[in-house]
Homo-oligomer: A and B are copies of this chain.
Amino acid sequence: MGARDRSSAGCSRRRDRRFAGDAPRAGCSPGRGGTACHREVFDLRIWVYATPADLPADPPRVGAAVAIDVLRATSTIAQALWAGARAVMPYLEPEEARRAAAAATATGSSGKPDSSGSAGLPGSPGAGPHLPPLLAGERGGVQIPGFDLGNSPREMTPERVRGREIYVTTTNGTRAILRAAALGPVYLAALVNRAAVVDRLAALGADVAVVCAGGQGAFSLEDIVGAGALVDGLAARGIGVPGNDLALAAVALFRHWEGRLAELFRQTDHGRRLLELGLAADLDWCARLDVLPVAPCYREGRITAA
């Protein structure tokens, strides 16, 4: 049982399970806000997966994917780009990131004058001198020895990252990004940049698969709540239907904890582990909603501000 309907990217005609209709909700658009599509009201479907391993062998065909690692990779990468980093290159393993950064340094390909299209952000890299790449990442929540930065969004200040390329590897987040790339271009979403990613998905108007990082292969509630925030943001525009049960659950979970997100993070497995490492400030940083108007997008090995 549990066979899932799949369709090509684009128009879906299923209107029976609208998120917006799940419960009356302040702030939701009373209208549908859709545009005509094949004589039916336009809508997009959203699938949510708790970990990269949960993607089925025959995944839904979508127009875009979203990777979510609220604590902390996608929050941190959004902040790095917002602070003016030129691009972020994700790798599975520290050694891969080291080699790639070394190669970029040797060829002088890093830190060249801006051609990434991210001009206009407050920390816009702009033109400038060649700057060496930065290495960033964690294992067990702790900065990797020899790396320039860890995985805290609070480290990604304009002073540290403006104009730089950052080679990054994290325990769960970079895996989710790279796995999601098999589905299409990958937007990186967190709570802090939820609205910016919703804008992109709404403009794209195609079905979407949300791949949560999870923690060591297990369901991470803060990621699912992040996925629910995305779905809720689309529902507020009157668009989006759940593609699977976890999408339906995610929006209910977001609505349950909305307004208490920092409190939630103090109860989740991953959040509690970060607390033990003395990173309460990171929890509070990542629990803010819609504060960074940047939608990072991974294509062809690079994450840039879309």
Tell whether, in the assembled complex, residue B253 and residue A249 are in contact, meaning their CB atoms are under 8 Å apart: yes
Using known A-B contacts A50-B50, A253-B253, A267-B17, determine if residue A216 contacts B3 with beta carbons closer than 8 Å: yes
Which chain B residue shows the least CB distance to A224?
B249
| Residue A124 CB within 8 A of the other chain | no
Using known A-B contacts A214-B2, A216-B2, determine if residue A268 contacts B252 with beta carbons closer than 8 Å: no
| Residue A220 CB within 8 A of the other chain | yes
Whole-angstrom distance between the alpha carbons of A139 and B198 in the complex?
Answer: 40
In the complex, what residues of B have CB within 8 A of residue A2's CB?
172, 214-216, 218, 220, 269-270, 273
Which chain B residue shows the least CB distance to A16?
B267
Could you jot down 14 A-B contacts, CB within 8 Å? A2-B214, A2-B215, A2-B220, A2-B270, A4-B218, A4-B269, A50-B50, A54-B218, A218-B246, A221-B249, A245-B268, A245-B270, A248-B267, A252-B252
Whole-angstrom distance between the alpha carbons of A246 and B268 in the complex?
Answer: 9
In the complex, what residues of B have CB within 8 A of residue A217's CB?
56
| Residue A152 CB within 8 A of the other chain | no
- Select A1's contact among B3, B50, B249, B270, beta carbons within 8 Å: B270
Give the distance to chain B from A187, nearest Cβ to Cβ, in Å: 22
Whole-angstrom distance between the alpha carbons of A257 and B248 in the complex?
Answer: 11
In the complex, what residues of B have CB within 8 A of residue A252's CB?
252-253, 256-257
Interface residues of A (CB under 8 A from B): 1-4, 16-17, 50, 54, 56, 71, 140-141, 171-172, 214-221, 224, 242, 244-246, 248-249, 252-253, 256-257, 267-270, 273-274
Using known A-B contacts A56-B218, A171-B1, A273-B2, determine if residue A268 contacts B256 with beta carbons closer than 8 Å: no
Which chain B residue shows the least CB distance to A71?
B1
Whole-angstrom distance between the alpha carbons of A214 and B244 in the complex?
Answer: 12
In the complex, what residues of B have CB within 8 A of residue A274's CB?
1
Tell whether, in the assembled complex, residue B56 and residue A273 are in contact, meaning their CB atoms are under 8 Å apart: no
Give the distance to chain B from A8, nearest Cβ to Cβ, in Å: 20
Tell whether, in the assembled complex, residue A245 and residue B221 are in contact, meaning their CB atoms are under 8 Å apart: yes
Give the distance to chain B from A2, nearest Cβ to Cβ, in Å: 2
Whole-angstrom distance between the alpha carbons of A214 and B224 in the complex?
Answer: 17
Which chain B residue shows the least CB distance to A170?
B1
- Select A218's contact among B141, B215, B245, beta carbons within 8 Å: B245
Give the distance to chain B from A254, nearest Cβ to Cβ, in Å: 10
